[in-house]
A and B are shown apart, each in its own frame.
Chain A
Amino acid sequence: MIAPPPELPPRPAGDPPGHDLLEVALGPHHPSTHGVFRMNVILDGETVVKLTPVFGYLHRNHEKIAEHNSYLAAIPYTDRLDYICSMTNNWAYVLSVEKLAALAVPERAEYIRVIVGELTRLLNHACLAGFLLQDMGALGTPLMYAFREREKILDLFESLSGSRMMCNYLRFGGCRCDLPPGWLKQAAGVVAGFGPFLDHFEALLSENEILRARSQGVGVLPPDLAVNAGVTGPGLRASGVNYDIRKVDQYGLYKRFNFRVPLGGQGDVFDRYMVRILEMRESLKILDQALRDIPNGPVMDPKARLRNLRPKPGEAYGRIESPKGELGFYLVSDGGPNPWRYRVRPPSLVNLTVLEDMCLGHSIADVVIILGSIDIVLGEVDR
């Protein structure tokens, strides 16, 4: 016979809050944590009173490996940082090496970089919107619609670079190979089909009352906190701060393109979702212009050497507006064949630092969608 549970002592009168707090470990195997990420959440009832992020489960020693390899051999490893957006990771890294070694890039290669970079932004934001809605309980449907479009972009990447996700395509001084015949036409077809997809996607959910009730006013990130914490990317712009590195630095050829930077007003989860939808529409504008204007010519600088690159002693920091925020690579050369110091500035990790501030006072169900709206990839957080 099972013994009855012991009777709990009666609660004293005037019990201070915090007497029966509950600590919950969300993750690292929780499906909503987008990988192996753990949150130790302390709950008062259902309300979050403290949140401690725990990460490092996917640490792969990326920086030290790159410091012991040649400059060329680090490029495939950058694919594996944010494994959804390998093209933009390549771009940020090769931009730093080009600054360090003072390499030029042919115009056609710059156009190709803009095209693949904006295609990457499309697929990242589409995936993120799908994942976020999945976290909110729209199980499967929006995610599968988003993945259907992503599949078309991945086909483009495969015919261009040979691999769907680990593209390893950009090189310092240009791109690895020229576009295959018919690629631009295929890309124009995908871009032309993406606008209608966005219309359908928005009709599916943007006006959905449940979505609005779940996400409006939840996880508000005030602009001053966002700036002080170093948050970048759509999360910062959803709080109303006009900061886009494509406009600020104008790296590559971004000053040639006509596009706008969507800003949010409230800084809540819904704004972060909407800013990404609007950014996709702006990316389509950039893609239209780039696919129209791309010139013929070489895609590699003839002076660039992939092997035995020994930049002069010095340092360089190259940064781009990756789909998740400011992705930067800091390289120090001592004149040798490998970087003396190699440091990644990952947008996912920095954006994650404000997670507790956004979650306090909300219920545990909201923690999941607030985390989803930050858009993290653990390959980049843990490196």
Chain B
Amino acid sequence: MLGRGILRGLVETWRNFQGSYYDPARLTTVQYPEEKLPPQENARTIPFLVYDGDDPMAGLRCTACSICAAECPAHCIHIVKDTAKKPDYLGKMQLQPKVFNIDMAVCMECGICAEVCPFDSIKMDHVFELSSSDPDMVLQKTDLAKSNDYFRKIHPTEAAAVDAARAAEQRKAQAKKEAVPGPSAV
């Protein structure tokens, strides 16, 4: 019968319309500005720099090795090394960045910087409401620095693994220091 297919389709539309009032499987979106979904743990938006302790600039994990800047597909990271060194979590003297800028107008949020960083210093953030009236979208290291507590909060699984690995390294370094007498003791 001509028109049977159309009628079947209309029945389907009616069922969907009704279901949209009570069936949770049909409600895949939320009313955004009023209601916000919690971000997934793996979600990534822009990069940030992790620091330990209370002072962001003193506790910055970054050693200005520039691997992230070299691997960045969009070349949006600009690093200048500082001449002064500072001790890292193992007590070793490490370089630190004098300038660490990320141009957010260029960054494509791919997460490769976080993937290649050997010092667990650069990680991907969860913030997403980033529009501002400031036309300069270059973030300095002071803007990028966020505490390890924040990292633990947004990426609990990954942060726990990083903390465990760093604590193990610290214990190893401590044991080595105690086992081998320094040159003055000889």
Residue among A166, A180, A204 making CB contact with B41, cutoff 8 Å: A180
Residue of B nearest to A205 (CB): B9
Contacts of B111 in A (CB 8 A): 162, 168
Q: Is there contact, CB below 8 Å, between A209 and B2?
A: yes
Q: Which residues of chain B in 86-111 are interfacial with respect to chain A, using CB atoms and an 8 Å cutoff? A: 108-111
Q: Is the CB of A151 within 8 A of B28?
A: yes
Scan residues 1-57 of chain B and give those whose CB is less than 8 A from a CB of chain A.
Answer: 2-6, 8-9, 11-13, 15-16, 25-26, 28-29, 40-44
Interface positions, chain A 131-166, Cβ under 8 Å from B, are 141, 145, 148, 151-152, 158-163, 166
A306 within 8 A of B: yes
Q: Contact: A159 with B42, CB < 8 Å? A: yes
Are B67 and A307 neighbours in the complex by a CB distance under 8 Å? yes
Q: How far is the CA of A176 from the CA of B28 in the complex (A)?
A: 28
The answer to whether A193 has its CB under 8 Å from any CB of chain B is yes
Once A209-B3, A307-B116 are accepted as A-B contacts, the answer to whether A162 and B73 lie under 8 Å apart by CB is no
- By a CB distance below 8 angstroms, the chain A residues around B15 are 200
CA–CA, A180 to B13, complex, Å? 36
A74, A162, A206, A209: the one within 8 Å of B43 (CB): A162
Q: Is the CB of B8 within 8 A of A203?
A: yes
A200/B3 contact (C-beta < 8 A), A176-B115, A307-B71 known: no
| A210 interface hit (Cβ, 8 Å) | yes
Point out the residue from B8, B13, B115 that lies within 8 Å of A207, measured CB to CB. Answer: B8
Give residues 168-196 of A contacting B (CB, 8 Å). 168, 176-177, 180, 193
CA distance A145 to B25 in the complex (A): 12
Residue A259 lies at the interface, judged by CB distance under 8 Å to chain B: no
Chain A contact residues, majority secondary structure: helix
Residues in B whose Cβ lies below 8 Å from that of A212: 5
Interface size range on B against A: 20 to 34
Q: Which of A73, A210, A212 has the most CB of B within 10 A?
A: A73
- Contact check, B12 vs A166: say whether CB atoms are below 8 A apart: no
- Is B124 on the interface with A (CB-CB < 8 A)? yes
Flag A55-74 by CB within 8 Å of B: 1 or 0 each: 00000000000000110111
Q: Are B109 and A210 touching (Cβ within 8 A)?
A: no
In the complex, chain A residues whose CB is within 8 Å of the CB of B73: 69, 73-77
B137 at the A interface (CB under 8 A): no
Output the nearest chain A residue to B110 by Cβ-Cβ distance: A76
Contact with B along A357-382 (1 / 0, CB 8 A): 00000000000000000000000000
- Minimum C-beta distance from A181 to chain B (A): 9
**Nearest chain B CB to A270's CB is how many angstroms away?**
13
How far is B112's CA from A1's CA once the two chains are assembled, in angstroms?
Answer: 68
A162 touches B4 (CB 8 A): no
Nearest-CB distance from B69 to chain A (Å)? 12
With known contacts A73-B112, A168-B110, A163–B44 Cβ distance under 8 A:
yes
Q: Tell me whether B77 is interfacial, beta carbon within 8 Å.
A: no
Closest-by-CB residue of B relative to A176 is B115
**Are A208's CB and B5's CB within 8 A?**
yes
Bound-state Cα–Cα, A163 to B44, Å = 6
Contact A209 B108 (CB under 8 A): no
Distance from B174 Cβ to chain A, minimum over Cβ atoms (Å): 30
Smallest Cβ-Cβ distance to A65: which chain B residue: B73
Question: Which B residue's beta carbon lies closest to that of A177?
Answer: B42
For B109, list chain A residues within 8 Å (CB): 163, 166
Interchain residue pairs with CB less than 8 A apart (30):
A70-B71, A72-B71, A72-B116, A73-B71, A73-B73, A73-B112, A74-B73, A75-B73, A75-B110, A75-B112, A141-B13, A158-B40, A158-B43, A161-B42, A162-B42, A163-B44, A163-B109, A168-B110, A168-B112, A176-B115, A180-B41, A200-B15, A203-B8, A203-B9, A204-B8, A204-B12, A207-B8, A208-B9, A209-B5, A209-B6
The 9 A-B pairs with the shortest beta carbon distances in the complex, nearest first, are: A207-B5, A76-B110, A73-B73, A162-B44, A204-B12, A151-B28, A208-B5, A162-B42, A159-B40
**A203-B8, A209-B6 known; 5 other A-B pairs, CB under 8 Å?**
A69-B73, A74-B73, A75-B73, A161-B42, A162-B43
**Chain B interface (Cβ within 8 Å of chain A)?**
2-6, 8-9, 11-13, 15-16, 25-26, 28-29, 40-44, 67, 70-73, 108-112, 115-116, 124
